[in-house]
């Protein structure tokens, strides 16, 4: 049983009210609802939020099951891991069904496609050893080549140092920047680890142009531009 979750808070400091802010006349959350509904793997879909306004928009757009997130899990310092656990447990109480996997899809990545979501799910289902699959893309910066950090001495050094300096980007190991388009998590992993970074993870690659994550007003404008270009 694969449960699709859309977990979003009412508060947002970077972009006020971003989760239901109109994007080309459509509330941002609706892009993810419509995309998730088309998945061939997701058994059921829920929205978890502390905001009545967000939950009402979800209901108006075909979400039959909404979950009220506890206030302590809706602060800007709260980790999403306990939010996932709360969503699974509340859903199981509400439905009487037992969840096998959770697929969390962040509304701040509105250009993701159903194929991006299903590709991540397919990767997770390939092996019982995989705990978590996260969507990611090849970034414009690489810690082996053009990213530095300040040491205690005050001097800057490469984030990932190698025995022999890498002088061409093409020679650097491939790295991924994570995007919250989809997190596919085995239910047991929620209880076996304190955070996804401790689990056995794999990356489901997606194109950079569909992976833009809205954190700032500039990101929002970039998304609008990309939608207009499409």
Give the model confidence (pLDDT) of 114-171 as tens digits: 999 999 999 999 999 999 999 999 999 999 999 999 999 999 999 999 989 899 888 8
Domain co-membership, 123 together with 217: yes
Domain co-membership, 163 together with 184: no
Domain co-membership, 166 together with 78: no
Split into its structural domains, the chain has a count of 2
Domain co-membership, 95 together with 148: no
Question: What integer pLDDT is reported at residue 10 of this predicted model?
Answer: 83
Whole-number Cα distances in Å, 221 to 91, 100, 110:
35, 37, 13
Average pLDDT over the chain, rounded to an integer = 93
Q: Indicate if the pLDDT at residue 74 is higher than 90.
A: no
Tokens of 188: 């047991």
- Asked whether the beta carbons of 6 and 105 are under 8 A apart, the reply is yes
Domain co-membership, 46 together with 65: yes
pTM: 0.91
Domain co-membership, 186 together with 166: no
Domain co-membership, 154 together with 187: no
Distance separating alpha carbons of residues 205 and 208, to the nearest angstrom: 9
For 12, the domain range is: 2-136+176-229
Domain co-membership, 97 together with 146: no
Q: What CATH number did the domain enclosing 216 receive?
A: 3.90.550.10
Distance separating alpha carbons of residues 109 and 148, to the nearest angstrom: 27
Domain co-membership, 6 together with 58: yes
Domain co-membership, 59 together with 75: yes
73 band by pLDDT with thresholds 50, 70 and 90? confident
DSSP letter string, 134-171? EEEE--S--TTTS-EEE-TTS-EEESS--SS---SGGG
Domain co-membership, 153 together with 64: no
Question: What integer pLDDT is reported at residue 75 of this predicted model?
Answer: 79
């Amino acid at each position: 049983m694969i449960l699709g979750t859309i977990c979003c808070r009412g508060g947002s400091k970077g972009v006020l009210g971003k989760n239901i802010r109109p994007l080309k006349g459509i509330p941002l959350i609706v892009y993810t609802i419509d995309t998730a509904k088309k998945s061939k793997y997701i058994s059921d879909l829920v929205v978890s939020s502390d905001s009545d306004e967000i939950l009402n928009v979800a209901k108006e757009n075909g979400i039959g099951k909404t979950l009220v997130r506890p206030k302590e899990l809706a602060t800007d310092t709260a980790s999403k891991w306990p939010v996932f656990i709360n969503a699974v447990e509340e859903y199981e109480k509400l439905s009487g069904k037992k969840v096998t996997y959770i697929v969390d899809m962040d509304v701040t990545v509105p250009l993701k496609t159903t194929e991006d979501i299903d590709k991540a799910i397919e990767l997770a289902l390939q092996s019982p050893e995989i705990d978590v699959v996260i969507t990611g893309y090849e970034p414009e910066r690489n810690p082996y080549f053009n990213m530095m950090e300040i040491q205690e001495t005050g001097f800057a050094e490469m984030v990932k140092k190698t025995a022999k300096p890498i002088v061409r980007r093409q020679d650097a190991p491939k790295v991924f920047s994570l995007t919250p388009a989809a997190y596919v998590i085995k239910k047991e992993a929620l209880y076996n680890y304190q955070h996804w970074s401790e689990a056995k993870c794999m990356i489901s690659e997606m194109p950079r142009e569909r992976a833009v994550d809205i954190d700032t007003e500039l990101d929002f404008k970039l998304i609008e531009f990309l939608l207009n270009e499409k």
